[in-house]
């Protein structure tokens, strides 16, 4: 497709459940970023993938968060044992020369 | 500690007038700055950027000004149009020449342009 695709667009989950968020990047975007935006906050960096290099996981808030990406393909962000503070819009972006192309995000609500 | 600050959560202007959105940063290692625009239920889209070697960059109705000594940048929209109503995010990077374009974002400013 022409843009970055994220699924699901909305997810409501019970506290303690695991969730998996998916990002389909644009072909050719070797770098992929995950950010999240909690209510009233800016975009918060989570993790960065660049080709086959080791990912930069410095933004992951806890060990309940993990992400995978194989090569330049789909990335998945997994949150285990979700907590209410995990509620946010999770955004994925493909990057070339500092120009981010964002997906529409996944709105996660933990109840 | 917020390294990129947008102190005005909202701004309202009349159609045809100038909109000025402000952004301050604290990290002197930042050398590349961007503005993104976000409509509801959509991801942010790139609007305009500026490198620290410049103090102004213009693209149509949009101009970004950078004052490095004050660690301040601003986005001017002239003339403002109702379709400009959106949340505007200021972002900064400290590695414009490298391969890791990790951006630090502000909290955003909601611009409303009234007809």
Looking at the partner chain, which of B46, B96, B106 has a beta carbon nearest the beta carbon of A100? B46
**Among candidate residues A58, A93, A12, the one with its CA nearest the CA of residue B38:** A93
Are B105 and A43 a contacting pair at CB < 8 A? yes
Burial zone of B75 (CB within 10 Å; 0-12 exposed, 13-18 middle, 19+ buried): buried
Are B105 and A42 a contacting pair at CB < 8 A? yes
Are B41 and A91 a contacting pair at CB < 8 A? no
DSSP string, B24-81: EE--TT--EEEEEEE-TTS--EEEEEEETT-SEEEETTEEEEEETTTTEEEEEESS--
Mutation target for B interface from A10, A44, A47, A100: give the one with most B CBs within 10 A: A100
Q: Is residue A39 pLDDT above 60, yes or no?
A: yes
Residues contacting A54, CB < 8 A, separation 6+: none
CA A33 – CA A55 distance, rounded (Å): 10
Q: Is residue B1 pLDDT above 80, yes or no?
A: no
Mean pLDDT of A54-79: 92
- pLDDT score for A3: 84
Tokens of A31: 């770098």
pLDDT digits (tens, 9 = 90+) for B94-108: 865 455 678 899 999
Whether B32 and B92 have beta carbons less than 8 Å apart is answered as: yes
Looking at the partner chain, which of B2, B6, B101 has a beta carbon nearest the beta carbon of A98? B101
- pLDDT score for A51: 80
Counting one residue from chain A and one from chain B, the pairs whose CB atoms sit within 8 A come to 60
Whether B106 and B8 have beta carbons less than 8 Å apart is answered as: no
Mean pLDDT of A49-66: 91
CA B48 – CA B80 distance, rounded (Å): 16
Are A98 and B32 a contacting pair at CB < 8 A? yes
Q: Which residues of A touch B100 (CB under 8 A)?
A: 31, 48, 50, 56
- pLDDT score for A72: 77
Q: Judging by DSSP bridges, how do beta strands B109-114 and B10-14 pair with one another?
A: parallel
Looking at the partner chain, which of A40, A42, A56 has a beta carbon nearest the beta carbon of B100? A56
Q: Is residue B8 pLDDT above 90, yes or no?
A: yes
- pLDDT score for B97: 44
pLDDT digits (tens, 9 = 90+) for B28-68: 989 999 999 999 889 999 999 999 999 999 999 999 999 99
Q: How far is CA B26 from the centre of its chain?
A: 15
Q: Judging by DSSP bridges, how do beta strands A106-110 and A88-96 pair with one another?
A: antiparallel
Q: Is residue A91 pLDDT above 80, yes or no?
A: yes
Q: Is residue A66 pLDDT above 80, yes or no?
A: yes
Q: Which residues of A touch B89 (CB under 8 A)?
A: 42-43
Mean pLDDT of B70-82: 97
| Confidence label for A52 from pLDDT (cuts 50, 70 and 90) | confident
| Confidence label for A53 from pLDDT (cuts 50, 70 and 90) | confident
- Please give the residue of chain B at the shortest CA–CA distance from A93: B43
Whether A90 and A108 have beta carbons less than 8 Å apart is answered as: yes
- pLDDT score for B100: 64
- pLDDT score for B58: 97
- pLDDT score for B99: 53
Q: Is residue A19 pLDDT above 90, yes or no?
A: yes
Q: Is residue A49 pLDDT above 80, yes or no?
A: yes
Q: How far is CA B92 from the centre of its chain?
A: 9
- pLDDT above 90: percentage of residues in chain B: 83
Are B102 and A4 a contacting pair at CB < 8 A? no
State residue A84 phi and psi, 5-degree precision: -60, -30
Looking at the partner chain, which of B36, B43, B102 has a beta carbon nearest the beta carbon of A104? B43
């Amino acid at each position: 497709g022409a843009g970055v695709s994220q699924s699901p667009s909305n997810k409501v989950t019970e506290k303690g459940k695991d969730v998996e968020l998916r990002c389909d990047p644009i072909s050719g975007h070797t770098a992929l970023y995950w950010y999240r935006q909690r209510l009233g906050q800016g975009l918060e960096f989570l993790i960065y993938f660049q080709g086959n290099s080791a990912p930069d996981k410095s933004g992951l808030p806890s060990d309940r968060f993990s992400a995978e990406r194989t090569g330049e393909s789909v990335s998945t962000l997994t949150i285990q044992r979700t907590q209410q503070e995990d509620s946010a819009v999770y955004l994925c972006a493909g990057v070339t020369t500092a120009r981010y192309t964002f997906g529409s995000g996944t709105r996660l609500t933990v109840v | 500690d917020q390294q990129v600050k947008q102190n005005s959560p909202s701004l309202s202007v009349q159609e045809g007038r100038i909109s000025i959105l402000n952004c301050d940063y604290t990290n002197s290692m930042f050398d590349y700055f961007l503005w993104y625009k976000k409509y509801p239920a959509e991801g942010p889209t790139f609007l305009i950027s500026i490198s620290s070697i410049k103090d102004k960059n213009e693209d149509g109705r949009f101009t970004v000004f950078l004052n490095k000594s004050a660690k301040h940048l601003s986005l001017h929209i002239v003339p403002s149009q109702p379709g400009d109503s959106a949340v505007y995010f200021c972002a900064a990077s400290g590695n414009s020449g490298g391969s890791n374009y990790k951006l630090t974002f502000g909290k955003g400013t909601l611009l409303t342009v009234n007809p």
